[in-house]
A = this chain, B = another copy of it.
Amino acid sequence: MSGIDKSAAEAEVVRNKQLLLKDHVIGFPKESDFIISTENAISLNVPENSKGVLLKNLYLSCDPYFRALMIKPDHSIKTPFPAFTPGLPLYGYGVAKVLDSEHQNFKKGDLVWGTTGWEEYTLTTQTNSLFKVENTNVHLSYYVGILGLAGITAYGGFFDVCHPKKREKVFVSAAAGAVGQLVGQFAKLTGCYVVGSAGSKEKVDHLKNKFRFDDAFNYKEEDDLDAALKRYFPEGIDIYFENFGGKMLDAVLQNMNMNGRISVCGMISQYNLEKTEGVHNLMWLFYKRITMRGFSAFEFYHLFPKFAEFVLPHIQENRLIYVEDIAEGMESGPSALVGLFSGRNVGKQLVFVARE
């Protein structure tokens, strides 16, 4: 009885484990760039009339764009989100359960995905970055992957940027990652010939056997990327989905076909270099009338309903496979984050924080 009286009368305060950025990162991120802190506590009740929502975080997404948020903010560069602040938790996409709400659109017990903090509990008023989980017959974690940012990135970046046609030749780099694995499978569903590159034997096996790419290779075992591409694409490349950058892009450019399209999603091989590699083969852009377009997933957020309609039946009928690399517990966060940039993850990297 006294317990009930207490929770109604005053806020329940609990420890809130967090993953903090220690300081701005220079070069390759190290586990020591992050701190697991148990020093903070949080009230599980939302202040009345605050329009806030109290989230219990279940899954947190590790994304390559995080690297850009770890540097000292450089106003000449437009990052997709504001930089992380040393001493504060990272923030990003996550799946969470609403524990308390003072916002009309959310009620206790709702499952949501969207922007949240790298901590056990997050009190947020940025409710326009939160979306209801609408299909509970798929894995909940899919909402920070195939049904979230990675999914819409692959969908818009492939269909909207590349306009693929049946029988076209498609190359995907970093193909076993969160986005690459989807682009390859979307290309197969379109009737294209698809080859992917990745950085380990295990990933290459996944590409060929799990994701049913036509072929795949380990770029670390190729001394001559140009020769490798000529081997896999004797008729040239029509579409390149760029996740990697640098030498790979250089090799791809000289293997593109006339009117080829390059969708520039990211360049993960370049994010931790002090000076990016120079790309020398840009003259192929006019030799072959190539269109190269950089995009951001935000451009395609309006396509979410159309995307869900497209992707859900494919998931449910097993025509689309989605591989996740789930690290267990907040403590595994630093290792998961660092592994993302060394390519240790196989599939979509995320962190499991808690059960519903």
Show the binding face of A for B, using Cβ within 8 Å. Answer: 76-79, 245, 249, 254, 258, 264-267, 270, 275-296, 299
Residue of A76, A254, A285 most packed against chain B (CB within 10 A): A285
* Contact between chains at B245 and A287 (CB < 8 Å): no
* CA distance in complex: A249, B78 (Å): 19
* CA distance in complex: A237, B299 (Å): 20
Residue of A78, A254, A275, A283 most packed against chain B (CB within 10 A): A283
Interchain nearest-CB distance for A13 vs B (Å): 41
- What are 21 A-B pairs with beta-carbon distances under 8 A? A76-B254, A77-B284, A264-B282, A264-B285, A265-B286, A267-B282, A267-B283, A267-B286, A270-B283, A276-B280, A277-B278, A277-B280, A279-B279, A285-B294, A286-B296, A288-B294, A289-B293, A289-B295, A289-B299, A290-B293, A291-B293
Which of B284, B294, B296 meets A284, CB within 8 Å? B294
Interface of A is mostly: loop
Q: How many copies does the complex hold?
A: 2
* Contact between chains at B249 and A282 (CB < 8 Å): yes
The answer to whether A280 and B283 touch (CB under 8 A), given A289-B294, A299-B289, is no
19 new A-B contacts at CB < 8 Å, known A270-B283, A286-B296: A78-B258, A79-B287, A264-B286, A265-B286, A266-B286, A267-B286, A275-B280, A276-B281, A276-B283, A279-B279, A279-B282, A285-B292, A285-B293, A285-B294, A288-B294, A289-B293, A291-B291, A292-B292, A292-B293
Which 8 A-B pairs give the minimum distances between C-beta atoms? A278-B278, A285-B294, A286-B294, A291-B293, A292-B292, A264-B285, A276-B280, A279-B279
Interchain nearest-CB distance for A264 vs B (Å): 5
Which of B258, B279, B283 meets A278, CB within 8 Å? B279
Contacts of A290 in B (CB 8 A): 293-294
Interchain nearest-CB distance for A65 vs B (Å): 9
Contacts of A79 in B (CB 8 A): 287
Interchain nearest-CB distance for A260 vs B (Å): 9
Contacts of A278 in B (CB 8 A): 277-280
* CA distance in complex: A289, B288 (Å): 22
* Contact between chains at B289 and A296 (CB < 8 Å): yes
Residue of B nearest to A278 (CB): B278
Interchain nearest-CB distance for A80 vs B (Å): 9
Interchain nearest-CB distance for A39 vs B (Å): 35
Contacts of A245 in B (CB 8 A): 282-283
